Structure 1
């Protein structure tokens, strides 16, 4: 058989094997069977599967499906947490296999989540991939306070730090962490959904590099070392719009804004009067998230960050049988409370317009 025909067949066989592995792991994860998940991963490695492929093409894909199932209301929060824990167990099992044990031949890196970010699995996947690529990696896990991160970097003399964040509301904290790391001469690579679909928030926040996923991050670090930043290179006026204090005032007044809007919402949205205590509690939580995302949009002066969150929230509500019709009056009330904040009113208005043009929720249909 010629090489030209053998290669495509091999690629097809590999793709089919990956798909079967994904389905088998999904079956174990969705059933809550951590032993089956770990056994599957170890068996794949015993059969000669590439550890990096198992991490990124199997485990990471299954975790992505977990998020999709939760968003579609086919998986509860408790089930989502349990599934994530099983995927973390699968990663841990993989890391102990002889095929995944590599000798460090490169420099030392630190991988961590920014303070307040509890989604640790993406960072863990990156840490394991970097180890496979020959780096000495210190994985610090989720929710690392910046002062503790800085002490660690001082003690280890890391060549670079990779910061992960999935929640956009942690971006102001990420900015502080990036600045602190660079102040001691450590370059920062960032990644995660928080930085936007194309990493558009990485540059405004001063990151030295951004990567869309673990494989791309490992490739980037392998090509050339990130240059060490000089303290004189840091820019402290890269977000000049913050001078209007709208971000500070909105973020500090968040709890009172939630109370004021919540109280007025009963009149603006009469259906709320028949809500159960649990529904009212969820509504207050949703309001708090809206205010948090508004504050973050003010921090970056970015309407799209807010509109993405609002339309996503509408789809989540519809998937759970809750009318998204409650969102426009909520935004209207919030705009009234912040009528003297021109940027806030502009961003809220963008959110309202996005809801009116999002056909997947305007008619009350799931996305």
Structure 2
């Protein structure tokens, strides 16, 4: 747990706010935030030093299996209501051009980009927030109807990077500069650079970048020549086949999985699919760390839910055998197995 360090009063408020989220007390959570505003704390600081770190803690509690998905969703909904209350309290009026903020297609973590949208609004931009999972075609259609100074796109999961790249290119064909953010591009923005797009590590940085149009448009070309080997496209085509065969193999090698409940079986199939999706994303950007970091995270998540690390190793071994004719995929899977073996 990491509390804000901007003042004793804010740290105490953060503890109260977390308690409100734990108790699903929306009204008390809004009161914590508005009291800080009444005390003179700027709205941007309330968003970034109260709501944002609390939401990160919510995610950590889910990862540690301390909170259920339902509790995480309830807390997120409350934080969204708090953001709306803070925005209404501040009541900024636009003095600058339009910025469109959206999540990548298939990306459902909408609160972080909502915080970016509100920081931009507080800094005078006219902001259109399109929310979660916006199809590229719909975003481009919107850009054709409304003159936008820039588009800010969010991605929380690296497995969405191939989709993110297509969305970025679609925006550029509309001659609208793009800035991206979120953990999906790497903690240091390494995969944004691979895709040739401007990256911001946080909301204030995104606002600064949007204001600097010259820097926003001055981005290097994407570095994706490795895609010529067709491994990525081949893996995507085989996704369903790979997941089905991995499930059958797991049932054979780990008999306990045969007695899984429908919910456990659904979770297992999802995890098998995530492994393929992260493998595909790592192939797309040609970076082993994307896959090994995911494997390390997945082992932790499953261990907190009673699934031993060797179960992940079995699946990686199965995929390695199935993809033995794909040298880059084989290299990634071998790196992932080394991560599991080291646990």
TM-score, normalised via structure 1 length = 0.88
SS, match of residue 112 in structure 1: strand
Confirm or deny: 8 A CA contact 1:28 1:34 kept in the other structure.
yes
Q: Over residues 161-180 of structure 1, what are the superposed CA-to-partner deviations in whole Å (9 max), with x where a residue is unaligned?
A: 11001011111111011111
Equivalent in the alignment of 1:84? 76
Equivalent in the alignment of 1:212? 201
Tell me whether 1:169 sits opposite 2:154 in the alignment: no
Confirm or deny: 8 A CA contact 2:310 2:340 kept in the other structure.
no
Q: Which moved more, 1:135-144 or 1:263-272?
A: 263-272
SS, match of residue 190 in structure 1: strand
Equivalent in the alignment of 1:30? 22
Q: Over residues 58-113 of structure 1, what are the superposed CA-to-partner deviations in whole Å (9 max), with x where a residue is unaligned?
A: 0101101100100011000111011101100100111111xx12222222211111
Equivalent in the alignment of 1:103? 93
Tell me whether 1:254 sits opposite 2:239 in the alignment: yes
Structure 1: unaligned runs, 5 residues or longer: 1-11, 363-367
The alpha-carbon deviation at position 136 of structure 1 amounts to 1.2
Equivalent in the alignment of 1:7? none
User: Aligned partners of 1:61 and 1:323: how far apart in 2?
Assistant: 30
SS, match of residue 133 in structure 2: strand
Count, aligned residues: 340
Equivalent in the alignment of 1:21? 13
User: Aligned partners of 2:25 and 2:257: how far apart in 1?
Assistant: 40
Superposed, 1:96-245 pairs within 5 Å as 96-97=88-89, 100-207=90-197, 209-222=198-211, 224-226=212-214, 238-245=223-230
The alpha-carbon deviation at position 278 of structure 1 amounts to 3.4
The alpha-carbon deviation at position 219 of structure 1 amounts to 2.7
The alpha-carbon deviation at position 234 of structure 1 amounts to 8.9
Equivalent in the alignment of 2:45? 53
SS, match of residue 144 in structure 1: coil
The alpha-carbon deviation at position 159 of structure 1 amounts to 1.0
- Which of the two has higher C-alpha Rg? 1
RMSD: 1.9
TM-score, normalised via structure 2 length = 0.94
Equivalent in the alignment of 1:365? none
The alpha-carbon deviation at position 226 of structure 1 amounts to 4.1
Confirm or deny: 8 A CA contact 1:178 1:206 kept in the other structure.
no
Structure 2: unaligned runs, 5 residues or longer: none
User: Aligned partners of 1:122 and 1:226: how far apart in 2?
Assistant: 25
Confirm or deny: 8 A CA contact 1:111 1:141 kept in the other structure.
yes
Match of 2:322 among 337, 359, 367: 337
Q: Over residues 204-251 of structure 1, what are the superposed CA-to-partner deviations in whole Å (9 max), with x where a residue is unaligned?
A: 1121x11111122123334x2246759xx995x731111121111111
